[in-house]
């Protein structure tokens, strides 16, 4: 391993020159100066020689390693990442070499990006939201922002969810700044049901979980209507929501089919006008997360085990959990407004 080269300080150089020029005690030879100050003879000679030629002991301007890139080229690298946040440091290095003719390492690219506030984060998994639906989400949030808690306590929240025996990670990394996680270009868009073993439909209110049913066949509008018929009114009665409860569902096509709307009308069920692509507004998504954590406390080996644990976790969900989730509706609306209808942290 090579030795690290150390540089003499300006103060050390000054002492060398003072000893060489001499004072009251007279001048010293180069060898004497080397022995007294414990500095190599060749170093002493070079400092004195440079002093003779330039009359200076300071560092020369422009010393040190030259920067590979100009400030303008660095700005171009940052601009490239803003447009292509999923590019790896190797990709950026190659693109930079093509643009500037300068060969550089991924490490240098990372250092430039880090100095400009960028770090390599895992892309958050969030549903893709179209501009049209962003407007609808924003409209809903503004209209329901000031609804009192009594309104939300009358809502029966519903959803389907698929629970996996085995899952995949699917991680993607992006270059972004600390507070830019929810920008569309920095997200890892997902679709709702990414594979699994047991599909369930469930509903709940602030007072606790309602009915839950396993979906054993392909879900269509007619299967869905049967689930609603068997579970919604009985759940409202169980949870003491009264006859004027409000039913919430998402905009899945089978939920909004003409025959489904006719069914709601016949059954005199009031349905909340819900914006599309809005799982972050629906507190049941976090209830599913709670259920997921409960059933994963020990390994699962088969579908029957998944179903047994789901039933147990659902029935034993404490009211404190469901109340907290429904009480978050104002915060969820605020988050959508602040995001201008885009993805939120929920």
For each of the chain's 346 residues, which pLDDT tens digit applies? Answer: 455 567 888 888 888 988 888 766 678 888 888 898 899 999 999 999 988 888 888 877 666 677 889 999 999 999 999 998 888 888 899 999 999 999 989 999 999 999 999 988 877 777 788 999 999 999 999 999 999 999 999 999 999 999 887 533 444 567 788 888 777 777 755 444 443 478 999 999 999 999 999 999 999 999 999 999 999 999 999 999 999 999 999 999 999 999 999 999 999 999 999 999 999 999 999 999 999 889 888 777 788 889 999 999 999 999 999 999 999 999 999 999 999 999 998 8
C-beta of residue 121 within 8 angstroms of C-beta of residue 181: yes
Spell out the long-range contacts of 187-190 with Cβ–Cβ below 8 A and sequence spacing 24 or more: 187/123, 187/124, 187/125, 187/126, 187/128, 187/343, 188/123, 188/124, 188/125, 188/126, 189/125, 189/126, 189/127, 189/128, 190/125, 190/126, 190/127
DSSP 8-state secondary structure symbol assigned to residue 95:
H
State which H helix or E strand residue 141 sits in.
helix 131-144
What is the predicted pLDDT for the residue at 64? 62
What is the predicted pLDDT for the residue at 56? 86
What is the predicted pLDDT for the residue at 4? 57
Q: Where are the domains of the chain?
A: 10-54, 71-116, 131-169+176-339
> Any idea which fold 131-169+176-339 has?
Nucleotidyltransferase; domain 5 (3.30.420)
- In this structure, what token pair is assigned to residue 53? 């030629």
Cα–Cα distance, 304 to 140 (Å, whole number): 40
C-beta atoms surrounding 343 within 10 Å: 25
């Amino acid at each position: 391993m090579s030795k690290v080269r150390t540089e003499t300080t300006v103060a050390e150089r000054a002492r060398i020159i003072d000893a060489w020029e001499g004072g009251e005690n007279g001048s010293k030879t180069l060898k004497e100066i080397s022995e007294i100050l414990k500095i190599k003879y060749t170093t002493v000679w070079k400092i004195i020689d440079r002093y003779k030629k330039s009359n200076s002991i300071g560092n020369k301007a422009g010393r040190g390693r030259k920067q590979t890139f100009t400030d303008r080229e660095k700005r171009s690298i940052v601009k490239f990442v803003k447009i292509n946040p999923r590019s790896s440091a190797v990709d950026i290095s190659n693109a930079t070499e093509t643009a500037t003719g300068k060969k550089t390492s991924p490490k240098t690219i990372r250092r430039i990006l880090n100095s400009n506030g960028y770090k390599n984060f895992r892309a958050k998994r969030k549903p893709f939201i179209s501009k049209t639906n962003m407007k609808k989400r924003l409209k809903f949030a503004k209209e329901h922002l000031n609804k009192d808690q009594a309104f939300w306590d009358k809502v029966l929240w519903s959803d389907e969810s698929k629970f996996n025996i085995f899952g995949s990670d699917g991680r993607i990394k992006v270059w972004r700044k600390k507070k830019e996680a929810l920008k569309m270009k920095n997200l890892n868009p997902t679709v709702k049901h990414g594979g699994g073993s047991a599909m369930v439909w469930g509903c709940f209110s602030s007072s606790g979980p309602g009915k839950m049913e396993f979906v054993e066949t392909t879900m269509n509008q007619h299967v869905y209507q049967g689930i609603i018929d068997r579970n919604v009114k009985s759940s409202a009665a169980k949870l003491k929501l009264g006859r004027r409860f409000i039913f919430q569902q998402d905009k899945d096509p089978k939920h909004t089919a003409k025959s489904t709307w006719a069914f709601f009308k016949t059954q005199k069920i009031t349905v909340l006008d819900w914006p599309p692509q809005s799982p972050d507004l629906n507190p049941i998504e976090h209830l599913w997360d709670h259920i997921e954590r409960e059933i994963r406390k020990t390994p699962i080996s088969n579908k029957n085990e998944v179903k047994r644990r789901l039933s147990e976790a659902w029935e034993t969900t404490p009211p404190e959990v469901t109340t907290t989730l429904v009480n978050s509706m104002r915060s969820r609306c605020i988050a959508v407004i602040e995001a201008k209808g885009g993805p939120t942290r929920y």
